[in-house]
Amino acid sequence: MSNKRVIVTGTESTGKTTLCEQLCLHYQCAYVPDVSRDYIAALNRAYTYKDVLEIAKGIIKAEDEALLQPAPFVLSDNDLINIKIWLQYYNWHVPQWLEDAIVDRKPYLFLLCDIDLPWVADAQRANPNDRDILFQQFIAELNKLGAEYQLISGTYTQRLQSAVNHVDFMLTK
């Protein structure tokens, strides 16, 4: 089962990081935290198109390093589809290398967090009114990729149980 990746994805403020932290504790798997949060927090200015591409490269690097760890799978709290949707949202060009990497690096499983949790504002979140539109973009991109994905919804407890059920099923394959 080595080299399997599970990506927790979805729009802002849908409990992705909380779910990742809970799953990491549950499985003791390799974990790639949200690369964009640390990158943006270190900037002393607004992020740019170039920054978003650097974040994408950082995700790739962090996942590749995590795949070297002796763990049943790698859990990632960000992904290249998220980067693509981010670029599209700001009407920025999606480079071909990113499109290719999305296809070439398709993970074993996506856990798509639903927008049924209340919005929680923070300094890096910007889209409280576009959650449904962005969520539909995630579904469209996952379907376009032909990705294996499961919708994760409900309370934090329900989300964790649902995610564990889906990951346990993946581990039996």
Q: What per-residue confidence (pLDDT) applies to 79?
A: 94
Q: What is the DSSP letter of 118?
A: P
User: What's the Cα-to-Cα distance from 157 to each of 23, 83, 160, rounded to whole Å?
Assistant: 12, 28, 5
How far is it, in rounded angstroms, from Cα 3 to Cα 59? 16
Q: What is the CATH number of the domain that holds 54?
A: 3.40.50.300
pLDDT band at 4 (very low <50, low <70, confident <90, very high): confident
Q: What per-residue confidence (pLDDT) applies to 1?
A: 34
Tens of pLDDT, residue by residue over 76-97, are 998 999 999 999 999 999 999 9
User: What's the Cα-to-Cα distance from 125 to each of 11, 77, 122, 169, rounded to whole Å?
Assistant: 10, 15, 6, 33
* Domains identified in the chain, total number: 1
User: What's the Cα-to-Cα distance from 24 to each of 4, 20, 74, 78, rounded to whole Å?
Assistant: 14, 6, 9, 14
How much is the CA Rg of the chain, to the nearest whole Å? 15
- Which residue segment(s) compose the domain that 55 sits in? 5-171
Q: Which amino acid, one-letter code, is at 17? A: T
Q: What per-residue confidence (pLDDT) applies to 124?
A: 64
CB 109 within 8 A of CB 8: no
How far is it, in rounded angstroms, from Cα 47 to Cα 65? 25
CB 22 within 8 A of CB 160: yes
Q: What per-residue confidence (pLDDT) applies to 12?
A: 85
Tens of pLDDT, residue by residue over 36-53, are 989 999 998 999 999 999
Q: What per-residue confidence (pLDDT) applies to 123?
A: 64
Tens of pLDDT, residue by residue over 49-69, are 999 999 999 999 999 999 999
